[in-house]
Structure 1
Amino acid sequence: MNRLLMALAILMMTVVSTLGLAGQASAAPTSGDPLSTGCANGAQTIWQQQVLGGGTIQVRYSPACGTNWVRISGATNRQSEAGIYSARTGWRYSPSYGRSPSTYWTPMVWAPGSECVFFYAKIQPVNGALYDTGQKKLC
């Protein structure tokens, strides 16, 4: 009987430790840089808007990580900024650029599945007034 109890105890410890490690390995990042975390791999654009003479605004979603971020491209040397919010993470902002790089993005927010995010972006088009998306909601 003692051998059976010992074997069961070892089996239970193995199962518990394996489940614990699996849970840690699959934990998604809740914020940060989508490139350095690998969350940009396989990400999808879930909203996009072209700003004539100003660049492109995209909201990206990573199914693997359950995260979202705003990506701005083509706004080289223009005034621009972006922000994104999820109830789980709060607001994350890009720098507010007077002369932005060609492509940049906000830190990620965690909003797995169809959870809602709020975002905004502002871009200065060539020879135009500052374009502001206002705060938009995506679910």
Structure 2
Amino acid sequence: MAGRRNSDRPWWELPLIAGAFLLALVSVAVDFAGPAGPRLGSWVVLCALLVVCGGAATVLGPYVWLRRVGVAVAASAFVAAMALTAVGLVAGDDDPEIPSPERLNGTDPTKGCANGSGIVHSADILNASGAPIAKLEVRYSPACQTNWVRVNNTVEGALVEKYIAIPGGAVEQEQDRGVGWSYSMQVYAPDSTCVDVSAVISLDGSLLGDYSTQVC
């Protein structure tokens, strides 16, 4: 009968559920530390909780039908946790929301890479008379291994064009107008990768000053 109390449980039920629970916890740790991070890990946590609930129903449930449901829930959740872990380990680097290093090309350096960055090159941009009209900086982020260009323009209404490129690779160009600091998007340049940088200051179509160099 479905309502019959279950007094004789197989000896293997408790160690089986305990082992499944421990393996689910290991998969949670792997997923949170892996390339897919907390987003995938949170799904594995749900599966681990279902393993716990199913295990509790299996071990403590007073009825046969409840024990059977518990076994089914625990087994299904355990399989799902293992599958999610495999997906996270194999395909995590391809997740579009978790950028690989190369996907940093063309992204905003202020969105996580600017903190801890430093100046690796700086120069004045001079006008035709040799007077400085802007300051150029090339910055590098050790955390992201990226470079970008910043320019501090002093000419009201001037157009500031910034360029940074990996020779034979990524190219980023940015235009801003007005006085003060502006910056380009970043390029992925690990270790001693060289970058070509330049800046052009113009007003109403007339060149006021420019600067270009290669930084390695």
The question of a shared fold, defined as TM-score above 0.5 by the shorter chain, is answered with: yes
Aligned ranges 1:55-134 → 2 under 5 Å: 55-77=134-156, 78-86=158-166, 90-95=170-175, 99-124=177-202, 130-134=208-212
Instruction: Between 77-86 and 40-49, report the one with greater CA deviation.
Output: 77-86
1:9-52 Cα shifts (integer Å, max 9, x gaps)? 335423431332178879667132222x0322221110100123
Q: Are 2:214 and 1:137 aligned?
A: yes
Q: Say whether the 8 Å CA contact 2:200–2:207 is kept in structure 1.
A: no
Q: 1:18 to 1:129 in 2, by over 3 A?
A: closer
Secondary structure of 2:193's counterpart equals coil
State the shift of 1:113 in Å.
2.8
Equivalent position of 1:32 in the other structure: 107
State the shift of 1:53 in Å.
2.8
State the shift of 1:101 in Å.
3.2
Equivalent position of 1:44 in the other structure: 118
AA aligned to 1:71 is R
Output the aligned Cα RMSD: 3.5
| Unpaired runs of at least 5, structure 2 | 1-11, 39-91, 126-130
Q: Distance in 2 between matches of 1:26 and 1:132?
A: 33
Instruction: Between 18-27 and 39-48, report the one with greater CA deviation.
Output: 18-27
AA aligned to 1:19 is A
Tell me the percent identity: 29
Equivalenced residue count is: 133
State the shift of 1:73 in Å.
0.2
1:34-82 Cα shifts (integer Å, max 9, x gaps)? 22x0322221110100123311111111112222111010333234311
Q: Distance in 2 between matches of 1:60 and 1:85?
A: 13
AA aligned to 2:132 is G
Superposition TM-score, scaled by structure 2 size: 0.49
Secondary structure of 2:198's counterpart equals strand
Q: Distance in 1 between matches of 2:187 and 2:195?
A: 8
Higher helix share: 2
Q: Say whether the 8 Å CA contact 1:89–1:110 is kept in structure 2.
A: no
Q: Between Structure 1 and Structure 2, whose CA radius of gyration is higher?
A: 2
- Which is bigger in relative contact order (C-alpha 8 A, separation at least 6)? 1
State the shift of 1:111 in Å.
1.5
Equivalent position of 1:14 in the other structure: 28
Q: Say whether the 8 Å CA contact 2:153–2:160 is kept in structure 1.
A: no
